[in-house]
Structure 1
Amino acid sequence: MSMKARSVAGEAARNLVTGTTRALWWALAFVVLVGGLAVADARVLVRVWQDADAFRSAGAAVLTLASEREQVVDGTRCQGLSGVSRLAGAGALRPGTPIRAANMPSSDLTVWEVTPGVLELLTSTARPTQVVTGATGGIWLADDLAAALGASAGDDLVTTDGRVRIAGVYSWPDDGRDRVLAYAAVVAVPASGTFERCWAEAWPADEDAAGLLYSAMSPGADDPRLGQLNSQRGSTYDLTGSVDSRPTATAPAAAAVVGLVLGCVAVRARRLELASALHARVPKRLLSWQLLLEAGCWLAAALSVTAAATGVAALLGSPGPFLETWATAGMTAGAGAAATLIGTLVGVLATREKHLFRYFKER
């Protein structure tokens, strides 16, 4: 390190230690102003993720194709739609043979035979309340039906035809979704053969993906009915648009303005000191590096606190990706820090030795 560089670093260190820089106060100002914007942006993003999760968990992203007059859905084609375009999962359904529980012998229990893809959809739209880990067979019961039978996941359901294992219990609330599985038993079957309905989850929601379901129809079939498992929350949820149009989308720009002003004010508060240094023939170039070093030190501390606070804000109650939320909100803090350094440099360059007497009178 050259003599001049060591002198600049040493002077910056002394100013930080003696309190000349007022590092603590500027760091606190940055955390409150810029950090507050970053935390606010993180919480708004969490709200967007919560709305998207509510849309998806209500089954609003599940598109349905049905023909109740006959079974015209090709199970293999329907199951094969999973992963095509924006279809996150797909599966077929058909009515199965009703069963009778030994403790409810007077009532037939509705049974739906489904391909494995429907069971996968249940994990995102029906939020299983009980699941037997690693279960490969058995039946799934709607929670209302399980409560009526006094049954839980892992139990054996005694029917008039024998015993059957309960692999899971799923929730099917009355929130506007199709009531087809509201009080029913679900049995997984191979995808071969024909079915009555085809369900596919388009996520992120995409109305254009609905046309793909028609490819699951058997040749020559007609009169299909295309719909939505739950239409109470609208036909689609524009996740990208919601993120882009969120109220805090301009937070990085606002933080940049705040940081620019903060950097300038921090330097202008020491204008008499800086003008005196210039009068003592300290090159403005070295003075600029000294002020940038000082600002960099208190900014590092402020950014550490801001990053931690933003991380907590991005994590609490968020069903979305933590790192993506944290990084997006962190752009606000980054923009504020960069602007603060620019403001510091602008403040130094705006300080004039010839204004020393005026600065002295204004102190």
Structure 2
Amino acid sequence: MQARSVAGEAARNLVTGTTRALWWALAFVVLVGGLAVADARVLVRVWQDADAFRSAGAAVQTLASEREQVVDGTRCQALSGVAGLTGAGALRPGAPVRAASMPSSDLTVWEVTPGVLDLLTTTARPVRTATGTTTGGLWLADDLAAALGASAGDELVIDDGRVRVAGVYTWPDDGRDRVLAYAAVVAVPATGTFERCWAGAWPVDDDAAGLLYSATSPGADDLRLGQLNSTRGSGYDLSGLVDARPTAVAPAAAAAVGLVLGYLAVRTRRLELASALHARVPKPFLTWQHLLEAGCWLAAALSVTAAATGVAALVGSPGPYLGTWATAGMAAGTGAAATLIGTLVGVLTTREKHLFRYFKER
């Protein structure tokens, strides 16, 4: 028999409903697609927890000396280029200033190198940023900005003139060090000595955090290494949590489900198959026919599953969309491959000599 005959028979079975394509496709979407969507949502939850960990400043390692300024600003800032660290910068207390709109108290000022402003964008969630670079002007904590009635881009009148408000950042009371709460931050060149050195390490690496000691002066003592926020634990093993997620078995489970679906899709038509074999239809013809039929309804089911998994991987996810979608989509891929294998097994295990038994069991 020719390939055109095989394709024609498969098309007729699909059109007439003999294949029951709609029902098998629906079963695939519900069972295998459900596993893929569930895996996507678990992965999104892992990314959300990781984002909350970083947003709280728990991934920022700190080195501080309360007695004197022993941190070399240049060396601390240079840690930004070290593998394992996502950014680094130094801080030191600046001269307090007094704003005209709050003349009764001085404003706490911290001088920071540009790397600290980069860390603020990932841990302090800037709520308003003036147009331009992060250099020049003051960054205000949101509570202080509200008290001063100032917004990003405004000019603030202080005791020695006017200064531009470069941005406003949030500094919630979530367990993080309160050093930048209700404070003004100004960027300065990374020259001279500072009191503190901060560095973001993601994924969290205790060994990378130890590099902060290289930014201090020789013989410096009374140094404290810690986290900006220790309330969320000392580490976050992102890769370990992804590997240990409860839906990590979704591809294997989807393969088992697909194998059963493909086998059942053929076994429910075993009388038809045995009759065709009795009529001297070659088994290779029947094998390719059923594979084509299964491939058609699988293509439709995979399209719906891929779309649903894509939506599940996108909604509320702060992590990499394509990576989440591809990882969760492995369940759909293995399920589809197993369905074709199940179809093949179903055809190959159907025997012409069992025709009478199939007839009695119908």
Indicate the TM-score class for this superposition, using the shorter chain for normalisation. over 0.9
Whether the 8 Å contact between 2:112 and 2:188 is mirrored in structure 1 is yes
User: What SS does the corresponding residue of 1:64 show, helix, strand or coil?
Assistant: strand
Q: Distance in 2 between matches of 1:212 and 1:345?
A: 58
Q: Distance in 1 between matches of 2:64 and 2:47?
A: 31
Q: Spell out structure 1 runs of 4+ moving beyond 4 A.
A: none
- Cα distance, 1:211 vs. partner? 1.1
- Cα distance, 1:63 vs. partner? 0.1
2:175 equivalent in structure 1: 176
- How many residue pairs get matched? 361
Q: Which of 28, 50, 53 is the aligned partner of 2:51? A: 53
Q: Distance in 2 between matches of 1:329 and 1:151?
A: 46
Are residues 1:356 and 2:361 paired?
no
Structure 2: tracts of 5 or more residues without a match: none
Matches within 5 A, 1:28-67: 28-67=26-65
- Cα distance, 1:196 vs. partner? 0.3
Look up the equivalent residue of 2:89 and give its one-letter code. G
- Cα distance, 1:19 vs. partner? 0.6
Look up the equivalent residue of 1:334 and give its one-letter code. G
2:71 equivalent in structure 1: 73
Matches within 5 A, 1:5-154: 5-135=3-133, 136-154=135-153
1:72-101 deviation per Cα after TM superposition (whole angstroms, max 9, x unaligned): 001111111113121001000000010000
- Cα distance, 1:223 vs. partner? 2.1
- Cα distance, 1:133 vs. partner? 2.2
- Cα distance, 1:207 vs. partner? 1.6
Relative to the length of structure 1, the TM-score reads: 0.98
Relative to the length of structure 2, the TM-score reads: 0.99
- Cα distance, 1:15 vs. partner? 0.6
**Structure 1 stretch 173-182 or stretch 283-292: which is displaced more?**
283-292
Structure 1: tracts of 5 or more residues without a match: none
- Cα distance, 1:209 vs. partner? 1.3
Whether the 8 Å contact between 2:131 and 2:153 is mirrored in structure 1 is no
2:228 equivalent in structure 1: 229
1:165-216 deviation per Cα after TM superposition (whole angstroms, max 9, x unaligned): 0000000000000000001000000001110000000001112211111111
Over the aligned positions, Cα root-mean-square deviation in angstroms equals 0.7
1:308-335 deviation per Cα after TM superposition (whole angstroms, max 9, x unaligned): 0000000000000000000000000001
- Cα distance, 1:113 vs. partner? 0.3
1:217 equivalent in structure 2: 216
Identity fraction in percent = 87
User: What SS does the corresponding residue of 1:154 show, helix, strand or coil?
Assistant: coil
1:248-305 deviation per Cα after TM superposition (whole angstroms, max 9, x unaligned): 0000000000000000000000000000111111111121111000000000000000
Matches within 5 A, 1:267-278: 267-278=266-277
Look up the equivalent residue of 1:116 and give its one-letter code. P
